[in-house]
A and B are shown apart, each in its own frame.
Chain A
Amino acid sequence: MLPSIWTLIGQAGTFLVFIWAVMKFVWPPMTQAMEERRQKIAEGLAQSEEAEQALDRARAEAEDVIRQARQKAGEIIDQAGKRGTQIVEQAKEEALSERDRQVAAAEAEIRLATNQAREALRERLAELAVAGASRVIEKEIDAKAHRDMLDKLAAEL
């Protein structure tokens, strides 16, 4: 009479062999392939996350650099401005002192010229006076003898 308890046991044996074969030859490569795939996906996701973070960091860094550059540029402009006014100020000062110097030199020259002219005039006047006097007294006056008197006269002029 079929099926009996024995056919059922025999079929269980068949099934056990099948399960053993699956466990031994099918399951490990399948789970391994699945695990590999999972790992690959996990790695890919982690890498993209990392790249995103790196990008964020780089962006922050770039902003920092730009801000610093801007600050520095401002400082440089300020300095340049200061330096410019300084130069202008200095030039002005120099120009003023040059002007003073030149004016002083001119004045000294003028004074010298005036003195020289006055001296020449004085001498000329003394001569003229002597000439005039000699003409008046119709006689040569000894210039030497009257030098002192004439000098005195000239100094009075």
Chain B
Amino acid sequence: MDSNPDLIHGTEKAAACQMPSADAYVVHHITNLRLPKGADSMDPMVWHVDTMIVSWVLGLFFLGFLYLAARRATAGVPGKLQNFVEMLVDFVDNSVKESFHGPRNFVGPLALTIFGVVFLWNLMDLVPVDYVPYALCEVFGVPYFRIVPSADINAPFGLSLTVLALIIIYSIKGKGFAGYGKELFTHPFGGNPLLWIPNFLLNIVELIAKPVSLAMRLFGNLYAAELIFVLIALLPWWIQFIPGGAWAIFHILVVPLQAFIFMTLTIVYLSLAYEEH
């Protein structure tokens, strides 16, 4: 991916904004804006600045949106904004109510945040693929810019690692330190000391599988979706609206569905963690 250094740090601005070939174009689209300059993508200390900026902006937008609705909220007939937010909150609260039977004062807002944030991340996929990176390159000389945070594995993993931490916290909260420890060593095969190690290993695998599957599902869906938009952009311009349009319409399903799946699985995992077996 990084074989051609000219691709990453264009020798000239104009050359950096336009790709000489189709494969260079595709590679350009799946390369994040990295700091420090020249860092390898596998470097653990690398910063994906584009993902961070976009997710911050979207997060602040979501917060501001909800804050505006909450500040203007009345007990009377709701305005359009309040009505929309109330419907959203109702929908999320009902989803939480169905699968989580403990106190909802933290899990409810958590689910709402996850749904809103993942939805907005995914929605960025519908912005025409070249517009933002090309404009930023031409105007500010930014060599790379990916605007779909969920198509960068780091963002879904950031979210799902938070969920992992919450799973552990809720396990301890629901079963106590000793109860959770006992469960780790005696489930699912039984309490025979010979089985402690296999039980524990299996439980750790199960625990790790949860955030990995959460993150990979979201990342895989949106990465593939983004790539297909990039490939469609390689077609002749007059035909693009047919496959592109179909793919975009399919996104009406994918965008909320992936957000909903992430939210629902988070709730289910927390519910499993919290409840006694």
Question: Is the A/B pair a real complex?
Answer: yes
CB-CB under 8 A from B251, the residues of chain A are: 18
> A18's contact among B76, B87, B249, by CB below 8 Å, is which?
B249
How many angstroms from the CA of A8 to the CA of B130 in the assembled complex? Answer: 7
> A45's contact among B77, B235, B248, by CB below 8 Å, is which?
B77
> A11's contact among B84, B131, B238, B246, by CB below 8 Å, is which?
B131
> A38's contact among B77, B229, B232, B240, by CB below 8 Å, is which?
B77
CB distance from B246 to the nearest CB of A (A): 8
Q: Are the C-beta atoms of B128 and A11 separated by less than 8 Å? A: yes
CB-CB under 8 A from A6, the residues of chain B are: 236-237
CB distance from A29 to the nearest CB of B (A): 12
- A42 in the interface, Cβ–Cβ < 8 Å? yes
Closest chain B residue, CB of each to CB of A8: B130
> B126's contact among A8, A10, A15, A26, by CB below 8 Å, is which?
A15
CB distance from A2 to the nearest CB of B (A): 4
> B20's contact among A1, A8, A10, A13, by CB below 8 Å, is which?
A1
| 8 A Cβ contacts from A1-46 to B | 1-4, 6-18, 21-22, 25-26, 33-34, 37-38, 41-42, 45
How many angstroms from the CA of A33 to the CA of B189 in the assembled complex? Answer: 50
- B18 in the interface, Cβ–Cβ < 8 Å? yes
Q: Are the C-beta atoms of B83 and A37 separated by less than 8 Å? A: yes
Indicate whether A3 sits within 8 Å of B130 (C-beta atoms), given known contacts A13-B241, A34-B83, A45-B76.
yes
- B245 in the interface, Cβ–Cβ < 8 Å? yes
Categorize the interface residue count of chain A.
20 to 34
Q: Are the C-beta atoms of B18 and A7 separated by less than 8 Å? A: no
CB-CB under 8 A from B19, the residues of chain A are: 1-3
Q: Are the C-beta atoms of B84 and A34 separated by less than 8 Å? A: yes
Q: Are the C-beta atoms of B77 and A8 separated by less than 8 Å? A: no
> A34's contact among B80, B126, B131, by CB below 8 Å, is which?
B80
CB-defined interface of A80-100 with B at 8 Å, one 1/0 digit per residue? 000000000000000000000
Q: Are the C-beta atoms of B248 and A18 separated by less than 8 Å? A: yes
- B244 in the interface, Cβ–Cβ < 8 Å? yes
Indicate whether A8 sits within 8 Å of B128 (C-beta atoms), given known contacts A1-B19, A15-B248, A26-B252.
yes
Given contacts A2-B18, A7-B130, 15 further A-B contacts (CB under 8 A): A3-B130, A3-B134, A9-B237, A10-B233, A10-B240, A11-B233, A13-B241, A14-B245, A14-B248, A17-B244, A18-B251, A25-B252, A26-B252, A38-B80, A45-B77
Interface residues of A (CB under 8 A from B): 1-4, 6-18, 21-22, 25-26, 33-34, 37-38, 41-42, 45
Interface residues of B (CB under 8 A from A): 18-20, 22, 25, 76-78, 80, 83-84, 86-87, 126-131, 134, 229, 232-241, 244-249, 251-252
